[in-house]
A and B are shown apart, each in its own frame.
Chain A
């Protein structure tokens, strides 16, 4: 599969603070990637470095096959960072025409892209009259002007109202459906979960995980169990070879699996040992739980 972006031990230091620490990952064509991390984890700094606006401290990165200089490669990329930056005194069309000139593409696609983000009726309004949601949609239109190989979005729904968030997500989903590679940085888990197939999780500039969203946790899920005799239940579970950590909260016992196992197997095992269950569910962690698990691992 074609590689679009490669990062090798990319590092950024601001004085004594290390914002991005030896980050390496690859972006392959056709996938939807999420960069996930709490606020201040180095997501924007990472994107800033690959987008030529932040100077790297060490390591390197290259776009596509690495033959072109970064700014040439960026002409094939569509990106918006944090909040939309345009010339306030220009209209939507004038702003997009300027972007076309910078990217060196024909300006014939302006109307088409404004249509995609639903701004065609405001095309001759000045940028400063736009609401935040409209500004963000204009930014997306501008990023699409060159039919980019990859679309990079940094916190695209930040600060928007629910309706605006919904609109932006709808647009992203539609773009993803056309097969465009997308890199989406966000601290919102459900956003990443809803849109992305792959995820890179970073915390304090360190990569914690990168890979498919559904393979994110090596764990095989967990059981939630209830019984009248909690202490016996726990004791029996402890002796089961496939069960790892056991926790109890409000009478609900959670048993994490170390190997795959079906719910029937544990049920009959417990019954044989004389424990009757009043409640049994097998679950996989949600992305949120996995995320918290991952980020906690390093704090402990």
Chain B
């Protein structure tokens, strides 16, 4: 295990572009704090986002896991290229000749993916804690550490997404095309959702029930948007007479779907690699 991780980190350690992207990613997570400084005047109402309760415990766990997850694309680039570069540099071949098995190769990548997710989660935990203690109206221990399932959701979501990137990297073999494929897949799922929701299964939950099994949709279902939970939005909605009735929770079956996808992606990466001649 440690040997495999050591091998993969050795490959990343000396790559300047990987280092820059990883660094940027973590810096950007800390920049969530900057949202606090958003303020503007709406007529004679002075609006300051920080006052809307977004940094209140425990809501902040939800809010930050959602925002931080948007930044995962930076690590996605690193992961896709660490897979596909092994093909374009033909170093995968050399690794195997040097005595790494195909299984170990995929495992070394997956362990790294998990490490990225763990570090991201820990980092987010620390950032959120600091941000919360600086702005939250409630700082009682029991409130601070409630709703922590959002962090678990964030972790599973990241691991699933990165495993997806890893698989695409192996499948497509070229970083640029692999990222393009990721984008196309996202468009595909969106269009499919649209078609199912508005054309085929109008006025029913069937579309949603089907779409929750698609990888990207499953990942985004784990931590859904937190904005409509904000007081200001709620009030606005009530005023125009629409009742927002959303389930914001993290559910075990949603986690399970993504975990199944993660296992599947790792297995498929291995199966693909095993079948291919290099």
- What is A's interface to B at a CB cutoff of 8 Å? 48, 51-55, 69-72, 74-75, 77, 79-81, 85-91, 94, 97-99, 101-104, 142
Contacts and interface: CB of A to CB of B under 8 A. Distances in A.
A86 B91 contact: yes
Interface string B1-39: 001001100110011100000000000000000000000
Interface in B170-218: none
Contacts of A91: 14
B90 A71 contact: no
Contacts of B275: 55
Contacts of A48: 277-278
B170 to A, nearest CB: 15
Contact of A87 (B6, B14, B278): B14
B277 A54 contact: yes
Interface in B141-181: none
Contacts of B97: 51-53, 74, 79-81
A72 B99 contact: yes
A74 B3 contact: no
Contact of B96 (A53, A87, A89, A104): A53
B98 interface: yes
B278 A101 contact: no
A81 B93 contact: yes
B121 to A, nearest CB: 27
Contacts of A51: 96-97
Contacts of A55: 274-277
B99 A103 contact: yes
Contact of A54 (B16, B94, B278): B278
B95 interface: yes
Contact of A97 (B10, B104, B277, B278): B10
B81 to A, nearest CB: 12
Interface string B71-91: 000000000000000000111
Contacts, number: 79
B101 interface: yes
B100 interface: yes
B14 A102 contact: no
A41 to B, nearest CB: 17
A74 B99 contact: yes
A223 B94 CA distance: 49
A102 B7 contact: yes
B91 A87 contact: yes
B15 to A, nearest CB: 5
B11 A87 contact: yes
Nearest to B95: A102
Nearest to B100: A102
A77 B100 CA distance: 12
A94 B14 contact: yes
Chain B interface size, under 10 / 10 to 19 / 20 to 34 / 35 or more: 20 to 34
A11 B90 CA distance: 24
Contacts of A69: 101
A53 B278 contact: yes
B98 A74 contact: yes
Interface string B99-110: 111101000000
Q: 8 nearest interchain CB pairs?
A: A75-B99, A71-B101, A74-B99, A85-B90, A85-B94, A53-B278, A102-B98, A54-B277
A71 B96 contact: yes
A102 B108 CA distance: 11
Contacts of B99: 71-72, 74-75, 77, 102-104
A101 B6 contact: yes
A71 B14 CA distance: 26
Contact of B10 (A71, A101, A142): A101
Given A53-B277, A87-B11, A99 B91 contact: no
Interface-central residue, A71, A91, A99, by most chain B CB under 10 Å: A71
24 contacts: A48-B278, A52-B96, A52-B101, A52-B102, A53-B277, A53-B278, A54-B278, A71-B101, A72-B99, A74-B97, A74-B99, A79-B97, A81-B97, A85-B90, A85-B93, A86-B89, A87-B14, A87-B15, A87-B89, A88-B89, A98-B11, A99-B98, A101-B7, A104-B3
B63 to A, nearest CB: 38
Contacts of B98: 74-75, 99, 102-103, 142
Contacts of A87: 11, 14-15, 89, 91
Nearest to A55: B277
A101 B104 CA distance: 13
A62 to B, nearest CB: 15
Interface in B213-252: none
A98 B6 CA distance: 9
Contacts of A104: 3, 99
Contacts of A102: 7, 95, 98-100
Contacts of A85: 89-91, 93-94
Contacts of A98: 7, 10-11
Contacts of B274: 55
Contacts of B93: 53, 81, 85
